[in-house]
Structure 1
Amino acid sequence: MTTAMCAALVLLVSSALWPMSSVSAVLETSAATLCDVDLEYSESGSCVERLQRRLNELGLNCGNQLSVDGAFGAATRMRVFAFQGRNRMTMTGEVGSVTRSKLANPDQGLGVACDSTVESQIRAVFPDSIANKAVRVARCESGLNPIAVGLNTNGTKDVGVFQFNTGGTLQEYLPGATLAVKVDNALSSADNIHAAYDLYRARGWQPWTCGNA
């Protein structure tokens, strides 16, 4: 039997044992092997495409898909920030050897709660009298995206559904003994929303840029 025939037989057997979507996922994972080079914002090329595919593999749900265009732009950097944050790494937004190693064997992926679930979580925490307002603020701040990370001109970052700032509100209101743990918790929609209600009770809508939404 030729090599090609063997390969076809393996694929046929695989298709019988697993749905084609599962077989495709395995092939995609194999195709997303990262280049052994450092990557950062504004770079482009096939190695960035491999990075984007890997980031997608770790969080393809609820339309949470990154464009595989080979351009390391703001969207790709935000996803790298989120991956690093969820895995309790320093959020540099750059992909060096340590981040590559963690991408190959992550502690946490990038799956997110869907918009409808996030909205329900907000309504379950905030009183009915202000729940609509809270949903509008969160939608304006992050698009209800649990892994949204915004980069500020002073180097701080705004994290999660209610965009807690790493230089202030996140450290004050998110649970955890270290900044890395606090960031990880901020990237959980449930923890972020509970912290947002605590912040609201202490300071009203003033802390949020979208407080007038």
Structure 2
Amino acid sequence: MNTAIRRLTALASALVMAVGLMLAVSPVHASAEVETTATALCSTTLRYGSSGTCVKKLQTRLNELGLNCGNKLTVDGKFGPATRMRVFAFQGRNRIAVDGVVGPITRGKLANPDSNLKVSCDSTIAAQIRSVWPASLEDKAIRVARCESGLNPIAVGVNTNGTKDMGVFQFNTGGTLQEWLPGSSTKIKIDNALTSTENIKAAYRLYKSRGWQPWTCRNA
């Protein structure tokens, strides 16, 4: 075997060894990346009024789940109305009890969610409304939705009677949500109410049946 062939053989052997090392190491690296992407939460149960480092971790984790358009939570360690609303929305999108309490079930979903909290920008929600509502009504519909929810698809409002209002057009869990959102259960209906496309289509169906009367912001 001449010198050139010996050099080529040695180079090929080195390449094979390098590829083998890469294949052996890559899964470990990939696993480490998956494990380090999610902020680990405390085992403490958190609810409205809680405060401290564990709440900061919760706020950070909620922000990791896809919030955008400048509407991320302030990581201040205070479980106030904004944090509670995001917890409500996360629970609704993951079809678990919408109680605002971060206990074992919600913590488990936060670690391994079925659905994130990606929020479309105002312009996208407005465009979705225009695609569903007729031209003669679309500007009014956008004004009503902006007044009701700030065009926020995961907006959740709490009423004095204990019911909640969900999504872009704020469907109420005490009536309009059950009647107008698709789904075979309340949990599915809530998930759909917090999904902008389904919420907007349901709002137009409701308008065609009852006009602007169902909305607090009907005069917007």
Normalising by structure 1, report the TM-score: 0.85
Per-residue deviation, 1:130? 1.1
Say if 2:129 is the partner of 1:122. Answer: yes
**Larger-gyration structure (1/2):** 2
Say if 2:73 is the partner of 1:66. Answer: yes
**Partner of residue 178, structure 1:** 185
Per-residue deviation, 1:63? 1.8
Q: 1:135-165 CA distances to partner (integer Å, 9 max, x unpaired)?
A: 0000000000000000111111000000000
Say if 2:168 is the partner of 1:161. Answer: yes
**Partner of residue 29, structure 1:** 37
Q: 1:38-81 CA distances to partner (integer Å, 9 max, x unpaired)?
A: 00001110000000000000023222301100000000000000
**Partner of residue 111, structure 2:** 104
Q: 1:113-143 CA distances to partner (integer Å, 9 max, x unpaired)?
A: 2111100110111111111100000000000
What one-letter code is carried by the residue in structure 1 that aligns with 2:131?
A
Partners of 1:42 and 1:71 within 8 A in 2: yes
How far apart are the structure 2 equivalents of 1:60 and 1:119?
18
Pairwise CA RMSD: 1.4
Against the structure 1 CA distance between its residues 67 and 115, is the aligned structure 2 distance closer, same or farther, given a 3 Å change threshold? Answer: same
How far apart are the structure 2 equivalents of 1:201 and 1:28?
49
How far apart are the structure 1 equivalents of 2:66 and 2:166?
17
**Partner of residue 4, structure 1:** none
How far apart are the structure 2 equivalents of 1:98 and 1:90?
9
How far apart are the structure 2 equivalents of 1:90 and 1:100?
12
Say if 2:202 is the partner of 1:195. Answer: yes
How far apart are the structure 2 equivalents of 1:115 and 1:38?
33
How far apart are the structure 2 equivalents of 1:210 and 1:180?
26
How far apart are the structure 2 equivalents of 1:185 and 1:128?
24
1:7-18 equivalence runs, <5 A? none
Per-residue deviation, 1:29? 3.4
Identity %: 69
Against the structure 1 CA distance between its residues 151 and 159, is the aligned structure 2 distance closer, same or farther, given a 3 Å change threshold? Answer: same
What one-letter code is carried by the residue in structure 2 that aligns with 1:178?
S
Q: 1:84-117 CA distances to partner (integer Å, 9 max, x unpaired)?
A: 0000011000100110011000000000121111
How far apart are the structure 1 equivalents of 2:53 and 2:152?
27
Partners of 1:39 and 1:96 within 8 A in 2: yes
- Kindly report structure 1 stretches of 4+ aligned residues shifted beyond 2 Å: 25-30
What one-letter code is carried by the residue in structure 1 that aligns with 2:139?
N
Gaps of 5+ in 2: 1-32
Q: 1:1-49 CA distances to partner (integer Å, 9 max, x unpaired)?
A: xxxxxxxxxxxxxxxxxxxxxxxx989735x210010000011100000
How far apart are the structure 2 equivalents of 1:103 and 1:133?
37
**Partner of residue 153, structure 2:** 146
